Amino acid sequence: MTDIPKIAFQGEPGAYSDEACRAARPDHAPMACRTFEDAIDAVRDGTADLAMLPVENSTYGRVADIHRLLPQSGLRIVGEAFVRVHINLLGVPGATLADIREAHSHLVLLPQCGKFLRDNGITGRVSPDNARAAREVAERGDRAHAALASELAADIYGLDVVARHIEDEGTNTTRFLIMSREADLTRRGDHGMLTSFVFRVRSIPAALYKALGGFATNGVNMTKLESYIVDGTFEAAQFYADIEGHPEDPAVQRAFDELSYFTHMMDILGTYPRDAQRP
């Protein structure tokens, strides 16, 4: 009997990353890991086949740790997944909204449903992980304590959904990248291909402007460009970019050729199909 392939994620069972794994790769068994580094290492050493890593949230912004880890991970992006983040108030069986005085969740999640908490006189309490908060609320068994987490977490830990979809923003969405040990250069999917890469420009005037010019002149749409500091110095900025297209497309090849004149490092992190759920 063949073993079920595994997909690693950071967090405890019931986390939104767990939800992303189940939705995007239902043929893989989700594998909980303590940190992002642990999830990456699980793929590198063969314990897991894939990793599901969050890169940005429409309300919170980018997940800074991931941009630092991706270029050094040795892994390649083979897919993306978008998960609509529905925040739910989870209580112990039988708890009502009037019973709840404190809600526990990750620091990032608490302000995303601040209005609901204020309107109902509930104090937010920080937990390292929303799924862990759900587990600990279940273990405590106190009707005054609840968790802010997914409905998946409610199912896993035997909690009641006291209030559903309480997030302040009706479009709260997280983008995930699916990572593998090996790149997949095949053209696939029904919505076009994306390519992600990192680069560092040479220290010459207008280097970034000139480096990006090839994408404009060749009609290649750049959907994301972000900079971040590397090597602990403000003199060394690295850029992360997403473009529409495949590295073997003639227009993309020409754009990359022009980019090479003005950079001293460029690494393609992966080429993968656009997710049908992309907003």
Return d(Cα 140, Cα 185) in angstroms, integer.
49
Q: Is 174 a catalytic residue?
A: yes
Catalytic residue among 36, 116, 174, 263: 174
**Which of 210, 214, 270, 219 is CA-nearest to residue 246?**
270
Tell me the three-class secondary structure of the chain, residue by residue.
CCCCCEEEEECCCCCHHHHHHHHHCCCCEEEEECCHHHHHHHHHCCCCCEEEEEEEECCCEECHHHHHHHHHHCCEEEEEEEEECCCEEEECCCCCHHHCCEEEECCCCHHHHHHHHHHCCCEEEECCCHHHHHHHHHHHCCCCEEEEECHHHHHHHCCEEEECCCCCCCCCEEEEEEEECCCCCCCCCCCCEEEEEEEEECCCCCHHHHHHHHHHHCCCCEEEEEEEECCCCCCCEEEEEEEECCCCCHHHHHHHHHHHHCEEEEEEEEEEECCCCCC
Q: Is 96 a catalytic residue?
A: no
Catalytic residue among 176, 215, 239, 256: 176
Any idea how long the chain is? 279
Query: Would you please indicate which residues are annotated as catalytic (active-site) residues?
Result: 174, 176
